[in-house]
Amino acid sequence: MGRIAAIFASRNEGKLRELRALLPDWDIQLLGEVEMPEEIGETFYENAAAKARFAQSVEPGRWTIGEDSGLEADLLGGAPGIRSARYAGEHASDEDNVAKLLDALAGAKPRDRGARYVSELVVLSPDGRELRGTGTLEGAIAAEPKGSEGFGYDPVFVPTGESRTVAELGNEWKRAHSHRAAATRALLAGLGGAPREM
């Protein structure tokens, strides 16, 4: 028995930090300097699974992790959804995406600003067995960005039952309550609890 050494198919350092904190018994490294495939799936799960399979094609015989996540705004019919990271364009910054979201919701009443974070985690074992975890975090979009922790839409996302944005609540709060934390718990349940070599 030992730590699971896994390859994470991502370029997102923020997601890597969160996964390492959520899976302290795992040794998680980013995939090497290869061109990531285009995200062409129609769901978060399809994109996450494709990333995990791609990582295993590059690093055969390894544990691999694919993750796809994003924000769904009710008033926008679930947008930006799977295009959350590219909402304002292919090379948009977090600030660009947040600005576009706030523009799209300009003038919306508080009751119409409902939204949720969604995370899909897919792990492939060295023999190709697939494990999956899904997590959501319900909330609403604030009128303006607040807070300095987190990334993505965290400065404008206020979780249900809270008065502050995720970026104000901070990383410790995220480790316990985020959509990615919920997806990780679901994944570990599928593994039977703490990770072990199999």
Angle between helices 179-191 and 13-22 (to 10 degrees): 50
The reported pTM is 0.89
Give me the pLDDT at residue 32, please. 78
* Residue 139 predicted with pLDDT over 60: yes
What mean pLDDT value characterizes the chain?
Answer: 92
Per-residue pLDDT tens digits for 83-117: 999 999 988 999 999 999 999 999 999 999 999 99
Instruction: Identify any residues that bridge with 121 across adjacent strands, giving them in sequence order.
Output: 67, 133
Cis previous bond, 195, omega within 30: no
Task: Please state which CATH class domain 4-191 belongs to.
Answer: alpha beta
User: b vs e for 166-191, b when ≥16 Cβ sit within 10 Å of the residue's Cβ?
Assistant: bbbbebebbeebbbbbbbbebbbeee
Active site residue 112: no
Q: Catalytic residue, from 25, 68, 103, 154: name it.
A: 68
H or E segment to which residue 176 belongs: helix 171-177
Give me the pLDDT at residue 193, please. 52
- Helix/strand/coil (H/E/C) assignment for every residue in 131-148: EEEEEEEEEEECCCCCCC
Domain definitions of the chain by residue range: 4-191
Q: Is the dihedral of CA 159, 22, 153, 164 positive or negative?
A: positive
Q: Which residue's entry shows tokens 């600005």?
A: 99
Q: How far is CA 1 from CA 18, 20, 24, 122, 169, in A?
A: 24, 19, 15, 22, 36
Question: Worst-scoring range by mean pLDDT, 92-96, 126-130, 163-167?
Answer: 126-130
